[in-house]
Amino acid sequence: MSTASNPHFVLDNNLSAKHLEFFNANGYLHFKNFIERGVLSDILREVKRIQDYLIDNNIEKINGIPLKFGQDTDGSLLIQRIAFASQYSTLLSDFLKDERFQGLLKLLNPYEARIGEFEKDGLVVNHYVNTPTSAFTQLGWHTDSPRDLFLGSKILPMLNVGLHLDDCPIENGGLRVLPGTHTQSLFRLLFRKKYFIDNKPDNKEVGFDISAGDLTIHDGRLWHRVQQSPFQGEVSRRRVIYIPVVTGAYQPKHANSATPFYHKLAGLKRNPNGRINWSLAEGKTATAQKKIA
């Protein structure tokens, strides 16, 4: 089954009426060429530096959020999901101050929104690559809303803003969304699909023809997934920075924050004997208060 591609836009300093109309109806937006290639190269180098620091210092959890490890195409250790990455980088933290991000806050009107650099999982770096030993090649259908329930609060609107660091044409997998599901009932939000288990394509889903430097935005209540690349090795590599835009009471994380239950569930794995092992290591915990120059 083929997946339809979506329309894309260009973002200047402010959202247009057309942007707002499309987002309100569909729950997502795709902006081409959000950053230039020079900025992209700087960010890629910075992400590599952060990963090397975390590995060299045996850090496996940041502010209660476990890092997700795998192997790269050459067999070397790879961090496939880094939470709170901007708290190890002045460059990434300063990048979040781009005035265009502030302009996106109006997508959550009438709620008062903010960039959640120190909340939820902070600025997240996802690194997908298909190798025989990769631990992170796809992500099943889900919304981001149950996270609020696990944290003991009501479901509030939020945005996931994704900056794409690699080219990813639609045939290479990547982000898939179900347009319009951000306005669904609570029952459909919780039970429309089996969270993270269901990876099956949906005949109503749309995909994205991504170029490195593009920006995607989706409402956290929208059903979405990440399609596995059909390719192996370098061509399958997809790196994405996700920036949370949140509403509600300010709830920053810190070095002693507990690991949320939904992350513990994600750490459950079955060994060849059918027994369940916890894949979450209790290694060093990182403080997020000091940036590393």
CA distance 15 to 99: 12
Q: 52 Cβ partners below 8 Å, 6+ apart? A: none
Q: Which of 125, 113, 115 is nearest to 89 (CA)?
A: 125
Q: Is residue 292 part of a domain?
A: no
Q: Is residue 293 part of a domain?
A: no
- Which of helix, strand or coil describes residue 222? coil
Q: Is residue 39 part of a domain?
A: yes
Predicted confidence at residue 192, as pLDDT, reads 83
Query: Where in the sequence is the domain holding 238, given as residue range(s)?
Result: 4-285
Q: Is residue 226 part of a domain?
A: yes
Q: 206 Cβ partners below 8 Å, 6+ apart? A: 3, 4, 5, 6, 176, 177, 179
Predicted confidence at residue 277, as pLDDT, reads 35
Q: 255 Cβ partners below 8 Å, 6+ apart? A: 63, 285, 286, 287, 288, 289
What is the token pair recorded at 123?
């600025």
Q: Which of 205, 181, 172 is nearest to 4 (CA)?
A: 205
Predicted confidence at residue 261, as pLDDT, reads 59
Alpha carbon distances (Å) from 186 to 139, 143, 181: 22, 11, 11
Predicted confidence at residue 260, as pLDDT, reads 73
Q: What is the domain-level CATH number for residue 126? A: 2.60.120.620
CA distance 55 to 50: 9
Q: Is residue 70 part of a domain?
A: yes
Would you say how long the chain is, in residues?
293
Per the structure, how many domains does the chain have?
Answer: 1
Q: Is residue 169 part of a domain?
A: yes
Q: Is residue 273 part of a domain?
A: yes
The answer to whether the bond into 201 is cis (omega within 30° of 0) is no
Local confidence pLDDT in tens for the 293 residues of the chain:
446 667 889 998 889 999 999 999 999 999 999 999 999 999 999 999 999 999 999 999 999 999 999 999 999 999 999 999 999 999 999 999 999 999 999 999 999 999 999 999 999 999 999 887 776 788 899 988 766 565 556 778 899 999 999 999 999 989 999 999 998 888 777 888 888 888 899 999 999 999 999 999 999 999 999 998 999 999 999 999 999 899 999 999 999 898 875 565 554 443 333 333 333 333 344 444 444 44
Predicted confidence at residue 263, as pLDDT, reads 61
CA distance 93 to 134: 29
Name the pTM for this structure.
0.85
Q: Is residue 48 part of a domain?
A: yes
